[in-house]
Structure 1
Amino acid sequence: MDVNLRVSARLGDKDSQVDTGLFDVKFYPYTAPSVDPVFAVVGGEHTFVCRLQKPENEKLEINNGIEILRWFKDEDTDHEYGKLNSLTWSKDSAGDPLVCVSGVSPKIKILNVKTGKLINTLIGHGQIVNDLTTSPLCPSIIASGSQDCTIRLWNLNPARGRSPCMLILAGQGTKETILSVSFHPCGRYLISGGMDTQITLWALPELDGDAPPQDDGKVDVMHFPHFSTREVHADYVDCVQFYGDLVLSRAANENKIILWKIDGFSSTNAVPDRDAVPPVDHKAGLTRSCFGGKFQVLLQFEVPLSENFYMRFSLFHQPDMRPIMGIGTQKSKFLFWDLQSLEEGVPRKAQTAKGKEKQTDGAESKDMIDDPFQLIPAQKTISASKKVDFAGRQMAWSNDGEWCVGVGDFGMVCVFSRNV
């Protein structure tokens, strides 16, 4: 797999490098192919908006290959812990890029990257906001998961006025802190993971980014997820994403990522009625589904030294391009898998849990994907730093899959390049 480390350093400028943990990173998803990619990073009180300069423009080095376009510092000072932990991108009607950030404060702040100003603050959650994501159907619609056990969908359109919250997912969903939220690529489903080990899937009503708020000012509430399970993981589920109609998820203290499918679920089928109540499995009650059946574990990926809470994988999955998954470990290493090569059964080099490289043949690769209980080691492991021993917290891929950025403790940022 042709992934290589290009930069590994602490983010900041020459006079004030950041030493706090960096917890989230995402590339701006609306950049044209000919434009140098832009990404945002949050951690502590800091929000960085950075641009990568492509090699043909300038040699990629920390002082001139990563340009800091904006450096926002959060003004809330009433929290003793590292404040910001999550971000997502949006844009306004004029096309100005907006970065939405959240953390220990229950507020979600909307920052205009072009003007450098805070333009809005979303208030509604009662406790910490742990994750943010943007609808693939409309950039003005974002979702947030919180310690108050709810997921809220927000509309950033100024026409919403003082009622930006469109929908609350609560009631019979997760009973403890929600840690991860993600949209299906079709935009009609949202999946979440939380501290009660539960993963929930919600079939969303059609959401109109231009719709005005209800006349009575009330917020729509959904009480029942259309699928929920506590059987896939046994610890905090802090990262869950769709891989097509399949699901990838990981939990603390398990040292693995699991690929699985929900029986009967297909995004090409009609969306279930919003008020459908999944039947109870009276034998255990740990899995409930409106789609019939339960779920099937398909593959498991080995992630050694990743017991820590709040360590997240990233998936690059675009049409007609090879899907790649990556995650950081607690010991300054980043792991990568070419998911398509597993299906092809091609000879490849994999690294064992002890870091030794091992050559596999096509038959062995096929055997791995035929056995859902066999842990698949990373196809490439990159040591990102010899000077700083840090945990990688999050990774993100550029729109074209050419660049990947990983961030972690002590303000560390690592840039990887890939031939596509």
Structure 2
Amino acid sequence: MMVNQVVVPEVGLGHEVAVGSPTTPSRSREYKATNKHAEGKSPVYAVVFNFLDVRYHDVFATACGPRVSTYRCLTNGKFALLQRYLADDETESFYTVSWACDTDGTPLLVAAGKSGVIRIINCATEKIHKTLVGHGKAINEIKAQALKPSLIISASKDESIRLWNVHTGIFILCFAGNEGHRNEVLSVDFHPSDIYRFASCGMDNTVRIWSMKEFWPYIEKSYSWTDNPSKFPTKYVQFPVMVAAVHSNYVDCTRWLGDFILSKSVENEILLWEPIIKEESPGESRVDVLQKYPVADCNIWFIKFSCDFHFNQLAIGNREGKVYVWEVQASPPVLITRLSNPQLKSPIRQTAVSFDGSTILAGSDDGNIWRWDEVDHPTVPSVGRKGKQTMTES
């Protein structure tokens, strides 16, 4: 197979980048700080709503030290603790948590972190469903395939990406090798409509796009495999369909927006770009950077953004404890608001935007979950309202 060349952004006439203003919020949606919940003494590295099941859209999960918790967002700004799981290894530190489903629709929670062990929790029985071992080092992110949520993918410090079947516990595909990532893999995301495709990014400053199409028979085989999972003929994939160098430093978060990609580096900005892939002639593949979303004080790694279900809003925290909320699909991008809380001074590692964008959560290094809720936009500004704004928006 042909060795991939690294694709860099096109520049010049017709490739101008639309840059959003980080200093002039539109305030088209207004939020107020409604809650702070002490989750633990370790950083809250992950917080994520369940968009896979319509019954649980108001439920979210957190990862904090050796503990994974699930909560329901109540309408009064409070949280209801649903379940809590403690790793049997007290030295574990969970960096990522993801929702998945078994083949019968049972909601599953998948958590991993420092140890490199993936724990799959059955939320119905409140018991460990599977434990997946294979990565040689820490796992930085896990994602479920929304079109087939019994498939998960894991991104690791060991420079590999692995595809697993949570129903059978089988390790199906490994994406690594000569043309794989050359440093820690920090983030992965499945394409929303192309079931074969996913993107990854990491400390080698690249975003890589991979295809599973050629190996789909092995994925199907993983569901009917009855022998020992260790005997499954795992396939190794060395060649991505594109290696894109759209950033010049660590890339620690990537998400698909339709056929476009949002990616964030430690360069105080998120980029929206289009990968134009010619699989028959990779030398003709190209990338076109479309938009930039500036985020001040966001130059440390492992800060991840999130969006609502329809990708109308994007929320990203920074190292000063501020949250920038962007209207993703406006061109140029529009900053909706900057959220803050006088008590919040720590780096925000991950945000979670609710299904409709009316609630925004943030997990921070001080071990807390912070919450903001949308307030009705007033027709006539009031003095009292202005006073509240200073508490929630910087």
Instruction: Give the TM-score normalised by the residue count of structure 2.
Output: 0.80
State yes or no: 1:137 paired with 2:126. Answer: no
Q: Which residue of 2 aligns with 1:263?
A: 276
Secondary structure in 1 aligned to 2:89?
A: coil
The alpha-carbon deviation at position 414 of structure 1 amounts to: 1.9
State yes or no: 1:222 paired with 2:214. Answer: no
- Is this contact kept in 1: 2:172–2:222, CA < 8 A? no
Amino acid at match of 2:269: K
1:7 corresponds to which of 34, 37, 42 = 34
The alpha-carbon deviation at position 84 of structure 1 amounts to: 0.6
Any gaps of 5 or more consecutive residues in structure 1? 13-17, 266-271, 280-291, 344-368, 370-375
The alpha-carbon deviation at position 185 of structure 1 amounts to: 0.1
Secondary structure in 1 aligned to 2:54?
A: coil
Any gaps of 5 or more consecutive residues in structure 2? 1-27, 377-394
The alpha-carbon deviation at position 173 of structure 1 amounts to: 1.3
Q: Which residue of 2 aligns with 1:335?
A: 324
1:381 corresponds to which of 333, 338, 342 = 338
Deviations 1:38-59 (A, max 9, x none): 00000211111000112xxxx2
Question: Partners in 2 of 1:214 and 1:49 — Cα distance?
Answer: 32
1:39 corresponds to which of 48, 56, 60 = 60
1:249 corresponds to which of 253, 260, 263 = 263
State yes or no: 1:410 paired with 2:353. Answer: no
Question: Partners in 2 of 1:404 and 1:24 — Cα distance?
Answer: 14
- Is this contact kept in 1: 2:185–2:203, CA < 8 A? yes
The alpha-carbon deviation at position 2 of structure 1 amounts to: 1.2
Q: Which residue of 2 aligns with 1:67?
A: 80
The alpha-carbon deviation at position 217 of structure 1 amounts to: 2.3
Q: Which residue of 1 aligns with 2:254?
A: 240
- Is this contact kept in 2: 1:36–1:53, CA < 8 A? no
Amino acid at match of 1:243: L
State yes or no: 1:180 paired with 2:187. Answer: yes
Amino acid at match of 1:74: A
- Is this contact kept in 2: 1:241–1:248, CA < 8 A? yes
2:306 corresponds to which of 310, 314, 324 = 314
Provide closer, same or farther for how the CA distance between residues 88 and 264 of structure 1 changes in structure 2, counting only shifts above 3 A. Answer: same
Question: Partners in 1 of 2:246 and 2:234 — Cα distance?
Answer: 32
Q: Which residue of 2 aligns with 1:108?
A: 118
State yes or no: 1:52 paired with 2:73. Answer: yes
The alpha-carbon deviation at position 264 of structure 1 amounts to: 4.3
Question: Partners in 2 of 1:103 and 1:277 — Cα distance?
Answer: 38
The alpha-carbon deviation at position 127 of structure 1 amounts to: 0.8
1:199 corresponds to which of 189, 207, 218 = 207
- Is this contact kept in 1: 2:306–2:314, CA < 8 A? yes
Q: Which residue of 2 aligns with 1:167?
A: 173
Deviations 1:168-205 (A, max 9, x none): 11111111110000001012211000111111000122
Secondary structure in 2 aligned to 1:208?
A: helix
State yes or no: 1:77 paired with 2:99. Answer: no
Percent identity over the alignment is: 27
Question: Partners in 2 of 1:44 and 1:78 — Cα distance?
Answer: 8
State yes or no: 1:27 paired with 2:27. Answer: no
The alpha-carbon deviation at position 387 of structure 1 amounts to: 2.2
State yes or no: 1:303 paired with 2:316. Answer: no
- Is this contact kept in 1: 2:31–2:375, CA < 8 A? no
Q: Which has the higher contact order (CA 8 A, sep 6+)?
A: 2
Amino acid at match of 2:60: F
Provide closer, same or farther for how the CA distance between residues 336 and 224 of structure 1 changes in structure 2, counting only shifts above 3 A. Answer: same
Aligned residue pairs, count: 340
